Structure 1
Amino acid sequence: MIQLFFSATQYAAATVVAAIRAGLFGPREDHRRVLVVSDTAAVPEVGTPLDRMAGFERLRSEFDEVRSWNEFVFPHHPGAWSPTAQDAPMWEKAVRLAWDLGDEPVEIACESIQANPSRAVADIFADSPVHVYADGLMSYGPTRNRIPHGMSTRIDRVLHLDLIPGLEPLLLTEYGVRSVAIPNEPIVAVLNEMGEQGAALLAECVPDLNRPTAVLLGQYLSALGLVSREEEEELHVRMLCAAAKAGHTGVLFKPHPSAPAAYDGTLETAARELSVELTVLREPVLAETVFAQLKPELVIGCFSTALMTAAAFYGIPVARVGTRTLLDRITPYENSNRIPLTIVDAALPDAEDGPSDFMRSPTDPGVAERLTPLVRAVGYCMQPRKHPGLRDEVAAWLSTRSAADAHYFERRRLTGLRLPGGRPPGQALWKRAACTVIARLSRGPNGFSTRRWIA
């Protein structure tokens, strides 16, 4: 059996290796293992391929060979290209020929099956079993896009990190796909091995005097269109101010690997005004390597998965900044980022409120007990047609939920789904009728609105 493991990031590759070492992909002698690396950044040509990053050599021994998906599909972009149905058999022959796979059976392990290149690979190998592995908080949310029947029946399981013990993923459960947690011990061991090489890069960047005691996690929110670039810079400044308020004078800012390389210097200016020694880590080093080597006293972020790994794997106090703003703004409601935002907002304290209640570990049973009904309710509201069996459970919980949970739900969506918290049916109908009348009255004789803001 040939096993093809598709990974786009260091963290994804580490997750795969942890699953392999945990015995979740069978004995080595029975399989030929091929790691297929890809880069789905907007301009992958200017980035560093996964297999050339610091620490990758510690993973290479788990695979018989390493291939590049970007090179194979060039000049197409790996995040945008997929074969047509009629061309898929031809592409399978091309892959087998290019990688010397022969006629042996193939098993696929890939990241999000909802997007390319995973979707494209599953289409190409149309008869192969598929294992989906999820390395982030999105696995706790519902499946974003519909999976064709022929593909969904081939998905064997969802492998996920057990970042919040007791909280079960919703991903692909509507297709009857089981979820399997990857034990924490192997993933921490793999991350530590990778960090041995990344530690040298980190040591070159970190000052000897006033070493950072707080870490700020950047994301690529503006690149995703969730906020403007200026707003993302302001979010970083808010993180820095929160760290300074907590008494930290040495701070390290770690941008996301996929974030734009250039910033306008707002963060550096704020650091000088706050008398904070700021270090910006521009080297491709895992956040977990930073946690293991620096042993910070505090990690602050928006809704990065690394917040939960810092707490779950390293016992570092963590806090959030800006989640409430994004929850109010993120559209559409079924946006997959809503679940990570919800989890971080509900589980972690707000860094701007002060240092008295920073979270140390999500392993407390009370965390999963608090999050389970909330995540299932938000997940149902995001994709109600995919989880009709959750309706009664969600309705019962919404009827007794705390007022503090109201901001996780749009009243209009609750009204449309006829769930507790929405407008009464009569009130909803009257409001809709009133809006229709106002819109019609605002139209001029040519049929176009003369008062657009009313309509």
Structure 2
Amino acid sequence: MTQIFFAATQYAAATITAAVKAGLFGPREGRRRVLVVSNTSAIPELTTPLDRMPGFEKLRPEFDAVHSWNEMIAPHHPAGWSPLPEEIPVWERALRLAWDLGDGPVEIACESIQANPSRAIADIFADSPIHVYADGLMSYGPTRNRMPADLHGRFRRLLHLDLVPGLRPLLLSEYGVDPVVIPGDIFQQVLKDIGGHGVSLLEELVPADDRPTAVLLGQYLSALELITVAEENELHVRMLRGAVAAGHRHLLFKPHPSAPAQFTQSLEQSAAELGVRLTILDTPLLAETVYQYVRPELVVGCFSTALMTASAFYGIPVARVGTGELLKRLTPYENSNRVPLTVIDAVLPDLEGDTAGVGTPLHQDPERVGSDLAPLVRTVGYCMQPQSYAALRDASVAWLTAHLAEHPQYFSQKRLTRLDLPGGNPSRTATLRRNPTVRRLVRGLRTARR
């Protein structure tokens, strides 16, 4: 048996390595493990490949071979290339030869199965079982696109980090795929192993006796066209001001690796005006490496997964900024960022709120998450993808009837009207019911429920 693991980022590679170390892919004996790395950045030639990043040598011993997907399909870009149907047999033979796979069985572990390069490799090895792993909050949201039967019939498990204990992932659940938790302690150890080089850099940048007490996380949301560059600059300034108001005098800003330098200029100016010290981390490092060395008293961000790792794995108090505005503007409703944004908004304190609760650890009560957060997330998921999750309609109607008035920010009246749900516009609903397109959609939903 050959196991092929796909990873596009250092965080993803750490996640799948932790799964391997935890025994979730069986014992090493009798299995050949191949790691395939890809670089899906806009211009891969200008960035460092995953297998050449500092710390990768700590992951390498878990795999018998490492190959580059970019080199294999050059000059095509990994995010935009997939084989034509008639080319698939040729590509399978080519990969088996190039990667020394022989003629034996192959199983695949990959992330983001809906997109390339994961979808491409799944198509090439068309008979192989597939284990999907997710390293972020999107695993709690619905599957973005419907999967063809010949693909989803091969799904075996969804491996994920338990970022919100008590919250069960919705991703791929419509296909009966069971979620499996990757042990957090093993994941933390893997991050510690690969973070040694980063700690050395931080020791040079931040003296041990003068470490920042608050960390600000940048996400580069303007690149996703969620907000403008000017608005993102202001978002970072709001994080700074909120942390200063909470009593912090030395702060560290960790920008997104792709963010332009102008993001830090406005922050530096604001820090000077407020009379506080600001350290800019201009070297790409995992946020978790920063947590390990700095040990901050507070982490602030918008809806970054790194907020949840700070709380769930390091016990650091966390707070959010700007989620309310993004919830109002996020389009279309089925945007994949909606569930991560909803989760962060629902469970983390607002740094700018009157009752921010900064310094209070994120509640980790699985019973409360199961009774309060999980129904909200499932209802949002149903509204995002009603055809795929038709079985959730009755529960969603019940939740909206009881709780919509308390949580209107997570739903749009237009969407509720279109789906004929509580909170929609009754007069508009009557008009929509006469619309032929809507009638076909409703018939489709009813068929799916049967």
TM-score under structure 1 normalisation?
Answer: 0.91
Structure 2 residue aligned with 1:452: none
Aligned pairs (5 A) from 1:240-259: 240-259=240-259
- The AA in structure 2 aligned to 1:265 is Q
Taking the aligned partners of 1:235 and 1:357, their CA distance within structure 2 comes to 18
- The AA in structure 1 aligned to 2:395 is E
Residue pair 2:300, 2:307 contacting (<8 A) in 1 also = yes
Residue pair 1:53, 1:284 contacting (<8 A) in 2 also = no
Residue pair 2:349, 2:357 contacting (<8 A) in 1 also = no
| 1:167 paired to 2:171 | no
Aligned pairs (5 A) from 1:43-54: 43-54=43-54
Structure 1 residue aligned with 2:362: 361
Residue pair 1:137, 1:339 contacting (<8 A) in 2 also = yes
- The AA in structure 2 aligned to 1:367 is V
Residue pair 1:213, 1:251 contacting (<8 A) in 2 also = yes
User: What SS is found at the alignment partner of 1:356?
Assistant: coil
Post-superposition CA distance 1:387-432 (Å, at most 9, x none): 11100011011100052310100111111111111122x3544799
Residue pair 2:348, 2:362 contacting (<8 A) in 1 also = no
Does 405-414 or 395-404 show the bigger shift? 395-404
Closer, same or farther: CA 209–186 of 1 in aligned 2, 3 Å:
closer
CA positional deviation for 1:356: 3.2
Structure 1 residue aligned with 2:386: 384
Structure 1, unmatched stretches of 5+, are 434-455
Does 157-166 or 227-236 show the bigger shift? 227-236
Taking the aligned partners of 2:370 and 2:212, their CA distance within structure 1 comes to 31
| 1:397 paired to 2:399 | yes
CA positional deviation for 1:261: 5.8
Residue pair 1:312, 1:362 contacting (<8 A) in 2 also = no
CA positional deviation for 1:104: 2.0
Aligned pairs (5 A) from 1:215-254: 215-254=215-254
CA positional deviation for 1:258: 4.2
Aligned pairs (5 A) from 1:313-352: 313-352=313-352
Structure 1 residue aligned with 2:33: 33
Post-superposition CA distance 1:290-326 (Å, at most 9, x none): 1111100000000000100000001000000111111
CA positional deviation for 1:359: 4.4
Closer, same or farther: CA 345–66 of 1 in aligned 2, 3 Å:
same
User: What SS is found at the alignment partner of 1:185?
Assistant: helix
Structure 1 residue aligned with 2:375: 373
CA positional deviation for 1:197: 2.5
Closer, same or farther: CA 208–312 of 1 in aligned 2, 3 Å:
closer
Aligned-pair Cα RMSD in Å = 1.8
Taking the aligned partners of 1:205 and 1:416, their CA distance within structure 2 comes to 53
User: What SS is found at the alignment partner of 1:351?
Assistant: coil
Residue pair 2:155, 2:177 contacting (<8 A) in 1 also = yes
Structure 2 residue aligned with 1:200: 200
User: What SS is found at the alignment partner of 2:66?
Assistant: strand
| 1:417 paired to 2:403 | no
Structure 2 residue aligned with 1:125: 125
- The AA in structure 1 aligned to 2:267 is L
CA positional deviation for 1:336: 0.4
Structure 2 residue aligned with 1:12: 12
Percent identity of equivalent pairs: 64
Closer, same or farther: CA 352–106 of 1 in aligned 2, 3 Å:
same
Taking the aligned partners of 1:288 and 1:302, their CA distance within structure 2 comes to 17
User: What SS is found at the alignment partner of 1:131?
Assistant: strand
Residue pair 2:297, 2:359 contacting (<8 A) in 1 also = no
User: What SS is found at the alignment partner of 2:186?
Assistant: helix
Structure 2 residue aligned with 1:63: 63
Residue pair 2:81, 2:116 contacting (<8 A) in 1 also = yes
Structure 2 residue aligned with 1:447: none
Q: How many correspondences in the alignment?
A: 432
CA positional deviation for 1:61: 0.8
Does 170-179 or 49-58 show the bigger shift? 49-58
Does 275-284 or 360-369 show the bigger shift? 360-369
- The AA in structure 1 aligned to 2:378 is R
Residue pair 2:383, 2:415 contacting (<8 A) in 1 also = yes
CA positional deviation for 1:226: 1.1
Taking the aligned partners of 1:368 and 1:3, their CA distance within structure 2 comes to 35
- The AA in structure 2 aligned to 1:88 is I
Closer, same or farther: CA 80–394 of 1 in aligned 2, 3 Å:
same
Residue pair 1:40, 1:79 contacting (<8 A) in 2 also = yes
Taking the aligned partners of 2:33 and 2:363, their CA distance within structure 1 comes to 34
- The AA in structure 2 aligned to 1:124 is I
CA positional deviation for 1:267: 1.4
- The AA in structure 1 aligned to 2:69 is W
Closer, same or farther: CA 359–348 of 1 in aligned 2, 3 Å:
farther
Post-superposition CA distance 1:134-188 (Å, at most 9, x none): 0000000000012111111011110011111111001011111111111211111
Closer, same or farther: CA 431–132 of 1 in aligned 2, 3 Å:
closer
Taking the aligned partners of 2:413 and 2:82, their CA distance within structure 1 comes to 38
Does 307-316 or 192-201 show the bigger shift? 192-201
CA positional deviation for 1:288: 0.7
Residue pair 1:7, 1:111 contacting (<8 A) in 2 also = yes
